[in-house]
Amino acid sequence: MRNKSHIGVKYYTIKEITGPLIFCESVSGVGFGEIVKVLTPSEGEKIGQVIDISDEITVIQVFEGTSGLSIETTAVRFTGETLKLPVSTDMFGRMFTGTGEPTDGGPNIIPEKFLDIHAPTINPCSREHPTKFIQTGISVIDGLNTLLLGQKLPLLSGTGLPHKLLASQIVKQAKVVGEEEGFTIIFAAMGITSDEVKFFRDDFLRMGAMGKVIMFVNRAEEPAIERILTPRMALTAAEYFAFEHDLHVLVILVDMTNYCEALREISASRLEIPGRRGYPGYMYTDLATIYERAGIIKGKKGSVTQMPILTMPDDDITHPISDLTSYITEGQIILDREMFKKGIYPPIDPLPCLSRLMDKGIGSNKTREDHKQLSDQLYYAYAEGKIVQGTALVSGEKALTTIDKLYLKFMERFEEEFISQNYNENRDIEDTLNIGWRLLSILPKPELTRIEPEIIKKYHPNHGKN
pLDDT (average), residues 264-271: 87
Query: For residue 464, is pLDDT > 60?
Result: no
pLDDT in tens, 226-253: 899 999 999 999 999 999 999 999 999 9
Same domain, 240 and 96: yes
Q: What is the pLDDT, as a whole number, of residue 2? A: 54
Closest CA to 27 of 81, 82, 65, 75: 75
Confidence tier at 370 by pLDDT (50, 70, 90): very high
Same domain, 411 and 385: yes
Burial class of residue 106 in the structure, from the number of CB atoms within 10 Å of its CB (0-12 exposed, 13-18 middle, 19+ buried): exposed
Same domain, 93 and 242: yes
Same domain, 76 and 96: no
Maximum separation of any 2 CA atoms in the chain, in Å: 90
Residue 389 lies in a domain: yes
Which CATH number characterizes residue 14's domain? Answer: 2.40.30.20
Same domain, 97 and 163: yes
Q: Are 84 and 114 in contact (CB under 8 A)?
A: yes
Domain end call among 324, 359, 394: 359
**How are the residues of the chain apportioned to helix, strand and coil, as percentages rounded to the nearest 5?**
35, 25, 40
Which CATH number characterizes residue 288's domain? Answer: 3.40.50.12240
Confidence tier at 442 by pLDDT (50, 70, 90): very high
Q: Which domain holds residue 64?
A: 10-82
Residue 112 lies in a domain: yes
Residue 347 lies in a domain: yes
pLDDT in tens, 418-440: 999 999 999 999 999 999 999 99
pLDDT in tens, 317-366: 999 999 999 999 999 999 999 999 999 999 999 999 999 999 999 999 99
Residue 222 lies in a domain: yes
Q: Are 404 and 412 in contact (CB under 8 A)?
A: no
Same domain, 381 and 263: no
Q: What is the pLDDT, as a whole number, of residue 5? A: 59
Confidence tier at 466 by pLDDT (50, 70, 90): very low
Residue 242 lies in a domain: yes
Same domain, 150 and 22: no
Lowest average pLDDT, out of 26-30, 90-94, 101-105, goes to: 26-30
Same domain, 178 and 311: yes
Strand partners, 427: none
Same domain, 14 and 46: yes
Residue 48 lies in a domain: yes
pLDDT in tens, 52-83: 888 889 999 888 778 888 898 899 999 888 88
Same domain, 414 and 455: yes
Same domain, 172 and 225: yes
Q: What is the pLDDT, as a whole number, of residue 131? A: 93
* Total Cβ atoms within 10 A of residue 123: 10
Peptide bond into 336 cis (omega under 30): no
> How many domains does one find in the chain?
3
Domain end call among 48, 82, 116: 82
In the chain the first and final C-alpha atoms are separated, in Å, by: 81
pLDDT in tens, 142-163: 999 999 999 999 999 999 999 9
Domain end call among 82, 98, 124: 82
Counted residue by residue, the chain has a size of: 466
Same domain, 161 and 218: yes
Residue 364 lies in a domain: no
pLDDT in tens, 207-222: 778 889 999 999 999 8
Residue 365 lies in a domain: no
